[in-house]
Amino acid sequence: MMNTFYRYLIATSLLLAISSTGLESFAGNKDRSGQAGASELLINPWARSTGWGNAGISNIKGLEAIWSNVGGTAFTKKTELIFSHTTWLKGSDVNIFSFGLSQRVGESGAFGLAVMSMNYGDIPITTNDDPDGGLGNFTPSLLNIGLSYAKSFSNSIHAGFVLKIISESISDISAQGVAIDAGIQYVTGATENIHFGISLKNIGPTMKFSGDGLSLRAFIPGQETQFTVEQRSEAFELPTQLVIGTAYDFNFEKESRFTLAANFTSNSFTKDQITLGGEFSLREYLLLRAGYTYENGIWSDIESADRTNVSKGLSAGLSIQVPLNKESGSVFSIDYSYRDTDHFNGNHTIGARISF
């Protein structure tokens, strides 16, 4: 047992060394922060995985893996449903509603569907002539739909991909795009308690806004006819990520478990991040988890130029699970997570999950 653990520590050290030195081509660039579009793709809408800062990308199982590491959806036993609601940056009146479904197909495959919608509420319409509003409201719409397939190629290797459909719009301007995620998990150890995972996310063509909102009617000097002038919108790239993670399960008596997990996230348009998290399971009835995500400048004052993230890095969560049918393994659970932020009252996510 101890020799296996020591080998695991050595492998983890090598993995982190490769992450920090051998991935320079993927290194985050703080000078490009804010230049990518569709940044909602970086928001995890699920309660379980956010409770420990997405640290478990190497061992996540079931439907929530469709965001973190799609290879984990191959562990879907039969059918899984999740509904979740996130109060994003509490106090800003931004809400995220999510729904997901995964279905096992054949002996080793699983299909998944995930829908995420961000609601900003009603925003007053203002113009140069009416800066105080009074002209009505408009409601921005951000919608992401993910379709996934994952397969277990052996007891150790599980991999899959996600096709994402992205839609952003207001009443007179919209942009649509597509992206692909791919992920793989590798499980080893005498009790399958050692996990490694890699996930490449948000790979796709540029997006561009278009619509009547980019047009205006104007008179050209010397002409009596009014012309319609259309402005051209600049195309923008998607926020690509590469995530490498590892986890180790400490299995105790009476079906209790503690999992220590870590990952390295390489962002194309923001700073790279390192996440460390832990999850304790009491016979799979009660699960407690916490995590911390570090990036350069996260301990600086929010007003300083070194700080580019409103998140403070800390996250915590819990799950309460109730078996519905022990023979079939059906389970119902309520999940909650909290992510700490500056200037707001954090991000709160609550979800309901049923697996049967």
Which of 112-116, 126-130, 251-255 shows the lowest per-residue confidence on average (mean pLDDT)?
A: 126-130
Do strands 226-230 and 311-325 pair parallel, antiparallel, or not at all (unpaired)?
unpaired
pLDDT of residue 285: 94
CA distances from 34 to 7, 9, 170 (A): 41, 37, 20
pLDDT of residue 4: 55
Residue 14 pLDDT > 80: no
Residue 33 pLDDT > 80: no
pLDDT of residue 23: 43
pLDDT of residue 69: 96
- Rounded to two decimals, the pTM is 0.87
pLDDT tens digit sequence for 166-192: 999 988 899 999 999 999 999 999 889
CA distances from 247 to 193, 194, 257, 278, 292 (A): 8, 6, 13, 9, 15
Q: How many CB atoms lie within 10 A of CB 17?
A: 10
Instruction: Compute the distance between CA of residue 58 and CA of residue 259 in angstroms, rounded to an integer.
Output: 11
Share of the chain residues as helix, strand and coil, in percent rounded to the nearest 5? 15, 50, 35
Q: What are phi and psi of 195, to 5 degrees?
A: -130, 140
Confidence of residue 44 (pLDDT cuts 50, 70, 90): very high
Which of 141-145, 157-161, 169-173, 317-321 shows the lowest per-residue confidence on average (mean pLDDT)?
A: 169-173
pLDDT of residue 26: 41
pLDDT tens digit sequence for 186-210: 999 988 999 999 999 999 999 999 9
Confidence of residue 317 (pLDDT cuts 50, 70, 90): very high
| Two structure tokens written together for 186 | 């590798």
pLDDT tens digit sequence for 121-145: 888 888 888 888 778 888 889 999 9
Beta strands in the chain (DSSP E): 79-88, 94-105, 109-119, 123-124, 137-138, 141-152, 157-169, 174-188, 194-203, 215-219, 226-230, 241-251, 256-267, 273-282, 286-294, 311-325, 330-341, 347-355
Map out the domains of the chain with their CATH numbers: 2-355 (2.40.160.40)
Confidence of residue 36 (pLDDT cuts 50, 70, 90): confident
Residue 17 pLDDT > 60: no
pLDDT tens digit sequence for 71-110: 999 999 999 999 999 999 999 999 999 999 999 999 999 9
Confidence of residue 12 (pLDDT cuts 50, 70, 90): low
- Cβ atoms of 241 and 268 closer than 8 Å: yes
| Two structure tokens written together for 106 | 């054949």
pLDDT of residue 19: 46
